[in-house]
Every structure is written in structure tokens, then in C-alpha cells.
């Protein structure tokens, strides 16, 4: 995920099937002061604060990508249904192929969990965006909830086309010498290898309880990781920290690893794997 057209194009040219933009809001946002990102033993902790150029300034990035016929999922965030609808309409007009409603950022004040933990609000926002647009709508939900199934059900009741699970896990790191939290925001979101079992669990639970398409996210760096998400019930995946760990050509590497695994297990079509763990 990124917000620069050039870097997004490089990712697509290295084997990604589509590009998810950085989450974009109505107005430019600087995010939090440094330090905002730190690598830990088994993952990456960040609290960047949803920095973005604002929807009006993002138009040229989308138009540049459209010239290369790259499928784009525009990720948006807002504080209420009105903001989400405004952003969704603009993204659609710019030419994105689908929308991701980010209702799950664990460290952005005024957004994220305040919205994403309320089933009624999730349903309302999803429904209003769906009514005002003509492209697929995916709702990104948080693992930091006790009612994740209720939230996913609310998204479906709002006519979402799919669920994106999961966002980062709420976390913190303290500097022992300075005796203070490492991040300027104190609390951040944990991503990378360590959260994959949490992502797998969330995808499995959603698939077990709700008939809806799921995009699996969290800790994917290898072909085996993708296959595990498929077996849990995802029919597509997003890769973020995998780029950090294995380089921008991680998509080609993962594709080859999946093909190799399928051949060794006599699997002809990847669709045969989706949801097989539900027995």
C-alpha cells in the first residue's frame, strides 16, 4: 500500500493483481511527529497517524495509474457517513475500480476504532456509501474488537461486497533506558509476521459465521501464508509488510511459491483451497 503513483506502479509491475492506495481523507493530514515506525523482534510497530495529501490532491495520482490500466482499490477514512460518502464519490469519479472503507485504524484519534467498533455506525456508513456509488465496497475491520463478528455482519447488512480482515493490532513498546514509550503517539499498530495467526483466526471466524467475500491481511510474506489464508476462508489477500521483508518483487516470489505448493499437492485450481479448513 502506498500513495505515490510511481511506487504503486512498480508494485503492480512486480506481480500484484491490484493496488490498494494509502488511506485518504478529506483534507491533507501530516500525521504524527517522529518516531512513528520501529521494527521489533517479529514485526513492525507504527503510529504514523494516517498522513495523506487529501482527496483533492490525490486525483493526479489516480489518473496517472489509470493511464497504465492498473486496477485500483481506493482506501478512504472519515469521521462520519457524510465524509465517507464525499470521499467515495470523488474516488469513483477519479476512476478507482473499488473502495476500501478503513474503519479500523488503531491509533488515529477521531477515526478508526471509534467508528469501527459500533455495529450501527458501520452499517450506516457502508449503506450510505453503497447507495451513492456503483463500484464494489470492501469494509476493513479491526482485530482489536470483542465483537468482530457483529461488525462484519453489520458491514454485510450495509450491503458491503466484502470484508478486509485485518488491520494492525493495537500495541506499544517502551524504551527501558528512557522509561517512556518509543512512539511519539505512545500507542501504535503492530503488523508483520507476528499478527498472521490473529488474521487467520479472524478470517476463519468471519467465514464460519457470514456468507461474504473476505480479503485476508496480516503477516503475509510467503506463498504458504497465502494458502493458509485461503484455507481459512479468504478469496484474496493484501500484502504490506511483506514488501519490507522480501522486496518489491515479493508478489512474483509468492506466486511462484503458491504454484510450486499446488503442484506438489496435486491442486489444479486455487479455488479448491478456499475455505477447506471449515470441516
**Beta-sheet pairing, 188-191 with 236-238:** unpaired
Residue 186 and residue 172 in contact, taking contact as beta carbons nearer than 8 Å: yes
User: Of the residues 5, 44, 105, 169, which is catalytic?
Assistant: 105
- Residue 202 bears catalytic tag: no
* Number of Cβ within a 10 Å radius of residue 40: 13
What whole-number distance in Å separates Cα of residue 107 and Cα of residue 40?
A: 18
What whole-number distance in Å separates Cα of residue 257 and Cα of residue 264?
A: 11
CA 29 to chain CA mean position, Å: 19
What whole-number distance in Å separates Cα of residue 103 and Cα of residue 231?
A: 25
Q: Which three cell numbers stand for residue 274?
A: 478456499
Residue 158, Cβ density class (10 Å: 0-12 exposed, 13-18 middle, ≥19 buried): buried
3-state secondary structure of 3: coil
Active site residue ranges: 105
Amino acid at each position: 500500500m502506498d500513495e505515490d503513483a510511481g511506487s504503486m506502479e512498480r508494485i503492480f509491475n512486480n506481480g500484484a493483481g491490484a493496488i490498494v492506495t494509502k488511506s485518504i481523507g478529506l483534507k491533507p493530514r501530516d500525521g504524527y511527529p517522529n518516531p512513528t515506525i520501529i521494527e521489533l523482534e517479529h514485526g513492525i510497530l507504527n503510529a504514523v497517524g494516517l498522513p495523506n495529501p487529501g482527496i483533492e490532491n490525490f486525483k493526479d495520482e489516480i489518473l496517472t495509474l489509470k493511464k497504465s490500466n492498473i486496477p485500483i482499490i481506493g482506501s478512504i477514512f472519515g469521521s462520519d457517513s457524510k465524509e465517507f460518502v464525499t470521499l467515495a464519490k470523488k474516488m469513483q469519479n477519479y476512476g478507482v475500480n473499488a473502495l476500501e472503507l478503513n474503519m479500523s485504524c488503531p491509533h488515529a484519534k477521531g477515526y478508526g476504532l471509534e467508528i469501527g467498533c459500533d455495529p450501527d455506525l458501520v452499517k450506516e456508513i457502508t449503506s450510505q456509501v453503497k447507495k451513492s456509488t456503483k463500484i464494489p465496497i470492501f469494509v476493513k475491520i479491526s482485530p482489536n474488537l470483542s465483537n468482530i463478528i457483529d461488525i462484519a455482519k453489520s458491514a454485510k447488512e450495509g450491503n458491503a461486497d466484502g470484508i478486509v480482515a485485518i488491520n494492525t493490532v493495537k500495541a506499544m513498546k517502551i524504551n527501558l533506558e528512557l522509561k517512556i514509550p518509543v512512539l511519539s503517539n505512545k500507542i501504535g499498530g503492530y503488523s508483520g509476521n507476528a499478527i498472521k495467526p490473529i488474521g487467520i483466526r479472524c478470517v476463519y471466524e468471519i467465514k464460519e459465521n457470514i456468507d461474504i467475500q473476505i480479503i485476508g491481511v496480516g503477516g503475509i510474506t510467503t506463498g504458504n501464508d497465502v494458502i493458509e489464508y485461503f484455507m481459512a476462508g479468504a478469496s484474496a489477500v493484501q500484502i504490506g509488510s511483506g514488501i519490507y521483508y522480501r522486496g518489491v518483487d515479493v508478489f512474483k516470489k509468492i506466486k511462484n511459491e503458491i504454484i510450486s505448493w499446488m503442484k506438489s499437492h496435486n491442486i489444479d485450481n486455487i479455488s479448491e483451497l478456499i475455505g477447506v479448513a471449515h470441516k
